[in-house]
Amino acid sequence: MIANPTEFLTADSGVIGLQDYALDGFFDETIGPNGEPRASSRRLIERIERMTYAELVSRQHAAERALLHLGITFQVYSDAQGTEKIFPFDIIPRVMDAAEWRHIERGLKQRICALNLFIHDIYHDQRILKENVVPPELILSARSYRAACAGLNPPHNIWCHIVGTDLVRDRDGTMYVLEDNLRCPSGVSYVIENRRIMKSTFPSLFQNVPIRSVSDYPGRLLDTLLHLAPAGIQNPQAVVLTPGVFNSAYFEHSFLAQQMGVELVEGRDLVVHDGHVHMRTTRGFERVDVIYRRVDDDFLDPDVFRPDSMLGVPGLMEVYKAGRVALANAPGTGVADDKVVYAYVPAMIKFYLGEDAILPNVPTYLCWREEDLAYVCDHIEKLVVKPANESGGYGMLVGPAASSSECQAFAEKVKQNPRNYIAQPTLALSRAPVIANGRLEGRHVDLRPYILYGKDIFVLPGGLTRVALRKGSLVVNSSQGGGSKDTWVLAESPSNGDATAC
């Protein structure tokens, strides 16, 4: 029923050494180009080097058992039996030093700020379209553009309250933004639980390493939500809205509700009457003021969006428009995480903030441009081609890993619907060591930090490091055989000044 992802590990009594650790020409997060641990990881590696492989494997198993008992599992959609799997976890943490984190934090705050201004603009004056910084036809043709949201004014004009931004590092060490997730980014529960499990199965690693805490996330999330409550309400009530137990992120929905101490509701628990949203309780109806919805726009309100939705609440949008309930994230934010729109984020930052982007984008070919399309079709075997509006790594082509007939077939698909595709050069994603085959081996990783936009913008010091556990694979999504690692952000040393200044 439940797969054990490390059955392939074989216990061995040899001491772990890095002498035969191969960098293979990639940037490694933990080990420097000279084969020595990077400064931020030195203490960690010293401790690991003192252990035997068998010891490491037994800690790895202990961590996995803990995940299973806690029921930290996800469901795989394509699997007919609805198999539950634990999210594979590697116990060697990935460490980020304070200075680099400061840079990332600044870059993310800048980016979220600009994206929020963009979404507000799109549903109001559309200045950025009128001045042709972003081609209007691109936005109005985006599947995630919601005409129903035009003219809406969410509380404090904040649209994207909870964001998860995917970052990747290339061979030369530059950190790029790969993707903005402005709808319902998931994974933050793993960040918190991974840390907790690491602390209980591997306490010795934490000694004397100044690691910034991630455990206050649920409290900050609750503050962010309550900040949105309609004015003048005593003790506003927030809830988490889930599509239900069959959703792949159900564990996270249940976890966040439990950690915040709020109700976890489904669409059928909510009802609109007397101009408010209420939940059905055994003591009658109770008013709901803020909904952290983990249901896509399309399914939120059958009266306004998809009429066949069983997951939403009829009449919800009416109440929302009247300002009597707040939704996080606001409906319509998806327009800014379309992968074609992504290409314009640096231009947005310039347009709204007058600044250069601190974190660069990955160079992106937009297939709707004729010259880009021609280039993509000619070089498809070297590129990663992605649909503009899918997530989870579904429906994409990794050129270098595909056969030439697969590439040709994909090129045909792109030609039929160029607006729906973008292409990017295949990045040499950085790697980090994982436990495999009796030793430490490098595997490709990315990083998803989580950002909360409430009274101010908060970047959780850490994030989800996803790792492609299959050797050579570049796809880190959990639905495609990816796992995760605990991510340590080191605290500033006192001489570096204020850690949270932006």
Q: Is 284 in the site for another protein (CB under 8 A)?
A: yes
Q: Exactly one of 72, 142, 264, 396 binds another protein (CB under 8 A); which one?
A: 264
Q: What share of the chain is helix, strand, coil (3-state, %, to 5)?
A: 35, 25, 40
Under 8 Å between Cβ of 451 and 108: yes
Q: Determine phi and psi for 458, rounding to 5 degrees.
A: -120, 130
Residue 199 CB, nearest distance to another protein (Å)? Answer: 20
CB nearer another protein, residue 108 or residue 260: 260
Among 50, 103, 130, 268, binds another protein (CB under 8 A): 268
437 contributes a contact to another protein by CB under 8 A: no
Stretch that binds another protein, among 203-211, 221-229, 251-259, 426-434 (CB under 8 A): 251-259
Burial of 114 (0-12, 13-18, 19+ CB in 10 A): buried
Q: Which two tokens stand for residue 243?
A: 């599509």
> In sequence order, what are the beta bridge partners of 271?
278
Shortest spacing between CB 454 and another protein, in angstroms: 24
Gyration radius of the chain over CA positions: 23
The stretch among 108-116, 273-281, 376-384, 424-432 that binds another protein (CB under 8 A) is 273-281
332, 343 in Cβ contact below 8 A?
Answer: no
Q: How far is the CB of 86 from another protein (least distance, A)?
A: 14
Question: In sequence order, which ranges of 53-152 are alpha helices (DSSP H)?
Answer: 53-69, 98-122, 127-130, 136-140
Query: Taking the complex as a whole, how short is the minimal distance between the CB of residue 283 and another protein, in angstroms?
Result: 8
Candidates 106, 223, 285, 375: give the one binding another protein (CB under 8 A): 285
Tell me how far apart the alpha carbons of residues 427 and 382 are, in angstroms, rounded to a whole number. Answer: 10
Report, in Å, the least distance between residue 74 CB and another protein: 13
The verdict on 245 binding another protein (CB under 8 A) reads yes
Question: Quick check: 275 binds another protein (CB under 8 A)?
Answer: no
Nearer to another protein, 279 or 353 (CB): 279
> Is residue 279 involved in binding another protein (CB under 8 A)?
yes
Alpha-carbon separation of residue 268 from 25, 290, 339 (angstroms): 54, 17, 33
Q: Which residues bind another protein (CB under 8 A)?
A: 1, 69, 71, 244-245, 250, 254, 257-258, 263-266, 268-269, 271-274, 278-282, 284-285, 314-315
